Amino acid sequence: MNLPFTPEQFLGVFAEYNDALWPAVIGFWLASLGVLVATWRKPTSYSRALTYLLAALWAWNAIAYHVWFFTRINPAAWLFGAAFAFQAALFVWVGARRRIEYFSSDGVVARVGASLVIYALAYPFLTMALGHRYPAAPTFGVPCPTVILTIGVLLTARAGIPLLLTIVPVLWGFIGGSAALLLNVPTDYVLLGAGVLLAARFMTSRRTPVRTRPD
């Protein structure tokens, strides 16, 4: 596959992003940790907050990463930005119309999902441990760890997650997962596997339509 940019240019985007927006990177990581812990402890009380946090992360990726920075080296980033904005809007819409309880399921798939959540939080530290020097390294809040986090969270919920919520994460699992090989980002091999797992999980589970929540 021929890419319109080099690995050096790709990592250079992260350097510019991290230099310009490092307070937001730290803020999103801390906010995500807090909301995830709260939701894990009390899924009924905090799951909607987690849905809106995911919406904020996807919207941030659409604007701050794809449109602001990634378009400088890849024209397809405009399309990626639109897809991420669409996913953000879906989370807002679903959060307003129904309650999804995360960390409410059990079994192997849910445990894998919880492991992916932990992996997403550890992602920036793992990328640097595996050879990428900050600031030219993917950090929390950029597309791949955001999608890993999203897939992990969805896998911990009970059946009934709207199919629409899974489409963009699965597609990005394949698109972003290609960076593991093409751009030497080994932490993204997990993204590729997570996308396959989410697709398999929701192809084989019973899906229910989105219903307006009762007053």
Do residues 96 and 15 touch, judged by C-beta distance below 8 A? Answer: no
Residue 188 DSSP class: G
| C-beta atoms surrounding 67 within 10 Å | 17
pLDDT band at 1 (very low <50, low <70, confident <90, very high): low
Instruction: Inform me whether the pLDDT recorded for 213 exceeds 60.
Output: no
CA neighbor of 50 nearest in space, from 162, 123, 143, 152: 152
Burial of 40 (0-12, 13-18, 19+ CB in 10 A): middle
What the block records as the tokens of 59 is 């919207």
pLDDT of 162-202, one tens digit each?
889 999 999 999 998 887 888 989 999 999 999 999 999 88
Q: Domain residues of the chain, as ranges?
A: 7-203
| C-beta atoms surrounding 97 within 10 Å | 12
The answer to whether the peptide bond before residue 23 is cis (omega within 30 degrees of 0) is: no
**Comparison of pLDDT for 35 and 160, the residue scoring more:** 35
The Cα–Cα gap between 210 and 201 comes to 18
Statement: the pTM of the whole predicted model exceeds 0.85 = yes
Overall average pLDDT of the 103-125 stretch: 96
Which 3 state secondary structure label does DSSP give 201?
A: helix
Q: What is the CA radius of gyration of the chain?
A: 16
pLDDT of 32-57, one tens digit each?
999 999 999 999 999 999 999 999 99
Do residues 173 and 194 touch, judged by C-beta distance below 8 A? Answer: yes
CA neighbor of 185 nearest in space, from 7, 3, 9: 7
The Cα–Cα gap between 102 and 95 comes to 12
The Cα–Cα gap between 119 and 32 comes to 13
**Comparison of pLDDT for 1 and 108, the residue scoring more:** 108
